[in-house]
Structure 1
């Protein structure tokens, strides 16, 4: 039975995760512009409200990611995929009808509550696929959500330009509903909860008790938070900055979508190469250089007055991020016991969400006082602090450290 259904599961869930990735990332080019349409706001008010809109969904994800992970282990991954895809479809479609920024913030909060399609679809594929095909299946499902995240801002920019921002929300909601119907009718799960999962609480606070080196895990989480702060401090202002550089003329949402996608495209193109380099020369060395280059590429963006140069440096930031994000994931895998890998990555998802909340709010606050470009300098300073903290408190990750990432079973 397993052999009959796993390929169908894989491709249906590939469609679902691609659509979900697009839905969550396509709003980046125009969300701030949508807020601007919902009221008469000063430049400072617009920056702060945009930050709140971006932060709202991630604020909820920070709390719900570990809980939903445990819930899926107890009740089944397909159930979580269906709940979250249907909830996301309804929430996205309703955003087309908001009358003010606070209603949009409320729906973005609800969207965060339903953020669970990608991790649960990935877990379902992992558990339903025969072991001899696991590598192939995980590679395919990863291209789904990564590809969706990459092309989402570009699709969102074109949709907003072609059919208005409000209509683009309705189209996205319909696509998500289509993926819900496909998953409900065609995905098969052979779920049998373990006795251990039945007894475990969804709110167990002793989540690091099985980790042999919790200090390293905690600092990797802190580093993830700071990296996300740097990344998301830019998102609330990127479309507003593009609009400013284009003097409020031309296809602003399309250009903003392309600019917003460039770091992700660069990461996608270079992460595997940097991963091979880290295997050869040491993950700690690649990580340190990643932080240094991130700082070096953020600083010039503070002074940029050209869209072309902004695009170039956003692409370069993506390359430096490829030396940070995947390396942290690799380190986290290797310092986590096999039985707690899922928990480790749900905690990492929470850390990313916390960084997204703090980054959105900090970036918009700084931009409201010092202008849009100041968010880039904030990001550069934070990544410099990140590097200093890692070098000071995690000697295992210093340049000359050896044998730092042994696997734990």
Structure 2
């Protein structure tokens, strides 16, 4: 499992990790378009019951992922990141096969929970690459890596819908399992890591992890930012199709229009993330983070006043371009503010906050829209992001006096290897 002392080709690792993130992103989103249909096929009937179970099987994966991520992050710091990538890809592949064989809704619910427990490919890929790249290229590399999962998530629903129409619902789970197994093989054969296992007794405890950070309050702020990014994205998801229908009126292709408007932020993020990451390497990721948060607020508010779907689509495209900078910039700042010894846990804690945002965002959007209407959701979301912008600016200002550390004091011009 552990490589020789020969230098690691971090660019090749980045390429394979990108492919792995793309495949896992596609695999997760392949089943999303027909998840309620599969719930119905498993015996759930009635409008309210179908809605309840669909929401439950969707959110339980993120809930269990939030719980499990810190454990896997600690194991990654002790055993290595590559083995965590292999564990995640193979485990998810097996669970997908079992999902395709599920006979009732309870079996499916348990398997969705297990899927969350066994996940973690993307945060571990981030931790692996973050500890190998030259620090002055962190923004570009992590921005590029983030486009892998985004690309997969964009193409997955389209592929899943086509496959479900062509072969039926259950075969899609088996196809998804094959995709994840391919990810396992690529990681096993092509990714290299130099890692010296750490004895369990030598591992820092959770309390010591945070006390070892130069700016623990800033790192906590970055975790909260990751959560709010997902809250802002998820709060709009439950109402988007209904809001588009309200704007478009009675048109026959409402599903197509809604799908286009739902996907344009991802396309914009795909285009902007590497470029803004590279810009952050040059001018500082802190500036990119604050500007992107403020721009997000300025784009969310007008969405409450649009009169046509194309106006909403343009604003969501611009929002996606701004959001494309946010997660990579947060990850870059986490790299700057943590050491290789704790990178796995820091990225896993960040993933837990993202998962919490994935669960709470849709709940907030659905609750606000039910009480105050669709347009109120955009005001509430803008307020949450504005709070985060102020909180982040305050946290960054408190730490600006001291230069951000180059982890472990290593030369920024050389790849960092465990």
User: Aligned residue for 1:87?
Assistant: 91
Q: Runs of 5+ in structure 1 lacking a partner?
A: none
Deviation digits for residues 226-258 of structure 1 (CA, Å, limit 9, x no counterpart): 222111223344456567768695583x65554
Q: How does 1:293-332 map to 2 (within 5 A)?
A: 293-302=295-304, 304=306, 306-332=308-334
Aligned to 2:209, the other structure's residue is in SS state: coil
Tell me by how many angstroms 1:182 deviates.
5.3
Asked whether 1:111 is paired with 2:115, we answer yes
User: Aligned residue for 1:211?
Assistant: 213
User: Aligned residue for 1:287?
Assistant: 289
TM-score by length of 1: 0.77
User: Aligned residue for 1:41?
Assistant: 47
Tell me by how many angstroms 1:69 deviates.
2.2
Q: RMSD in angstroms over aligned alpha carbons?
A: 4.2
Query: Aligned pair in 2 of structure 1 residues 191, 145: CA closer, same or farther (>3 Å)?
Result: same
Query: Aligned pair in 2 of structure 1 residues 62, 130: CA closer, same or farther (>3 Å)?
Result: closer
Deviation digits for residues 92-141 of structure 1 (CA, Å, limit 9, x no counterpart): 344446577665443322211111233445656788x899xx99998986
Aligned to 1:406, the other structure's residue is in SS state: coil
On the 8 A contact 1:224/1:351 being kept in 2, the answer is yes
Q: What is the CA–CA distance in structure 1 between the aligned matches of 2:192 and 2:282, rounded to whole Å? A: 39
User: Aligned residue for 2:412?
Assistant: none
User: Aligned residue for 1:269?
Assistant: 271
Query: Aligned pair in 2 of structure 1 residues 358, 293: CA closer, same or farther (>3 Å)?
Result: same
Select between 219-228 and 335-344 the one with higher mean Cα deviation. 335-344
Asked whether 1:64 is paired with 2:62, we answer no
Tell me by how many angstroms 1:210 deviates.
0.7
Tell me by how many angstroms 1:41 deviates.
1.8
On the 8 A contact 1:59/1:357 being kept in 2, the answer is yes
Tell me by how many angstroms 1:383 deviates.
0.9
User: Aligned residue for 1:177?
Assistant: 181
Q: What is the CA–CA distance in structure 2 between the aligned matches of 1:255 and 1:94, rounded to whole Å? A: 34
Q: How does 1:75-154 map to 2 (within 5 A)?
A: 75-96=79-100, 104-121=108-125, 144-154=148-158
Tell me by how many angstroms 1:181 deviates.
4.9
Q: Runs of 5+ in structure 2 lacking a partner?
A: 410-418
Tell me by how many angstroms 1:68 deviates.
0.9
On the 8 A contact 1:151/1:261 being kept in 2, the answer is no
Q: What is the CA–CA distance in structure 2 between the aligned matches of 1:28 and 1:243, rounded to whole Å? A: 21
Asked whether 1:407 is paired with 2:405, we answer yes
On the 8 A contact 1:28/1:260 being kept in 2, the answer is no
On the 8 A contact 1:259/1:311 being kept in 2, the answer is yes
Deviation digits for residues 352-403 of structure 1 (CA, Å, limit 9, x no counterpart): 1222122133233334445555543432221122223334x42617xxx965
User: Aligned residue for 1:396?
Assistant: 397
Tell me by how many angstroms 1:324 deviates.
2.9
Q: How does 1:182-193 map to 2 (within 5 A)?
A: 183=187, 186=189, 193=196
- How many residues are aligned here? 398
Tell me by how many angstroms 1:20 deviates.
0.8
Tell me by how many angstroms 1:203 deviates.
6.2
Deviation digits for residues 189-211 of structure 1 (CA, Å, limit 9, x no counterpart): 677643x4432459644320211
